[in-house]
Amino acid sequence: MEELVKSLTQSLQDGTKTPQRICVAVAERIADEVNRICTESKRIQNSGEVDVWMKDLSQHRLRQCLNYYKHGSKRGRAELHSTLSAIIYRYIAPARTRASYQARLTAIEDFLQGFYVEALKAFRRECQMPQDYSPRAMLELAEYMAFVERYAKRRIPLPRGRSQQLVILRAQTFARQTPPETSIDMERAAESGGVEGDSYTWDDASVQQVRQHMGAQEQSEVMDSALRSSVVNELVEYLTEKKQKDCIDYLVLRLQDLPASEIEQVLGLTARQRDYLQQRFKYHLLRFAMLHRWELVHQWLDADLEKDLGLTPVEWEGLLSRLDDKGKTTLKLKQEQADDRTIAETLGVTITQAQKVWFGVLETAWEIRNSNYSNPD
């Protein structure tokens, strides 16, 4: 432990402009957390490679912390907010409702504000900090944001061998507005340190009362799950057609919520190679989402044409003001369910050119929808 703390402290001093005493305190907290996880995890203890696990886990936390530090306060918060928003987007609207895109944004904001407070309490509890502790130095803020991301992604065991991320369970409860007497008490699970299968089972008395309640929700989630599966399957087919096998491998690992370091290890890539693969994957994902199967993707995002591409009335007017005549004509014909050939003949262009016009319309709408995240307060 002493060597681990020294190594982490040195890395924090080399990578930041933070006083030594703060670097030491952060290093000690990282080391304590990693030691607790490795001690409590039966899987790690039985692996015979406890030291390897401690090194890998501590390095992962170190990289997370330095990454948020590099982003700074404002961009770091925006990155964290964007990451968690993407995870819970499909779960934040109450079951059997079709909330607008703007309504989802508002709900996400309300939910995450409460979740950040919960995560701070968990951070204080797990690190044995004073109840009034708040991060002040930039490194302390980076440490907290990295903790929030890990806390949100902790896997909570569910019936029949399934598991789910803690933040998703919280978001589902928030969306359903479950009464306090039937809300899911996940505190004991959260205290397990995020090691799946350790120190927590679905048969614990603290969650017996909600098994039936959660089961009643499964049917309403089947359609969402089926639509998501269709998107994933068609994306895989698209990438296969484009001979992008490495992008498929990347997609599979991303769907498992693996951190970048683990993706690099599994695929045998350097950080630079993984970054290049990620950019190539994003390129193909954008082509798939806005050109190849835009209808399916936008239906999944609840932002299809029937919902004005997920825009509020003000945002819709903003979209129209940014489109040229070809863009407006294409949008009108798409609303009338005209096919690409009809649109191309109306515009006096080729089908490929007509598709590019529509791609531009969807891209503009996408930018407008996400402007709240790219310009946070």
pLDDT at 206: 36
Tell me the pLDDT band of 335, cut-offs 50, 70 and 90.
Answer: confident
Which three-class secondary structure state does DSSP give residue 210?
Answer: coil
326 CB-near residues (< 8 Å, 6+ apart): 347, 349, 357
Residue ranges of the domains in the chain? 2-196, 303-377
The two most distant CA atoms of the chain are separated, in Å, by 73
Both tokens of 339, joined, read: 């096919």
For 153-203, write each residue's pLDDT tens digit: 988 887 767 778 899 888 888 887 534 333 334 444 444 444 433 333 334
| Least confident span in 11-15, 43-47, 97-101, 152-156 | 97-101
Alpha carbon distance 155, 195 (integer Å): 7
Both tokens of 35, joined, read: 């030691």
The whole-chain average pLDDT of the chain stands at 78
For 224-238, write each residue's pLDDT tens digit: 555 566 677 778 888
Alpha carbon distance 86, 285 (integer Å): 15
For 30-51, write each residue's pLDDT tens digit: 999 999 988 988 888 888 888 8
pLDDT at 293: 63
* pTM, entire model: 0.52
Residue 255 has pLDDT above 70, yes or no: yes
Nearest alpha-carbon partner for 252 in 230, 232, 234, 222: 232
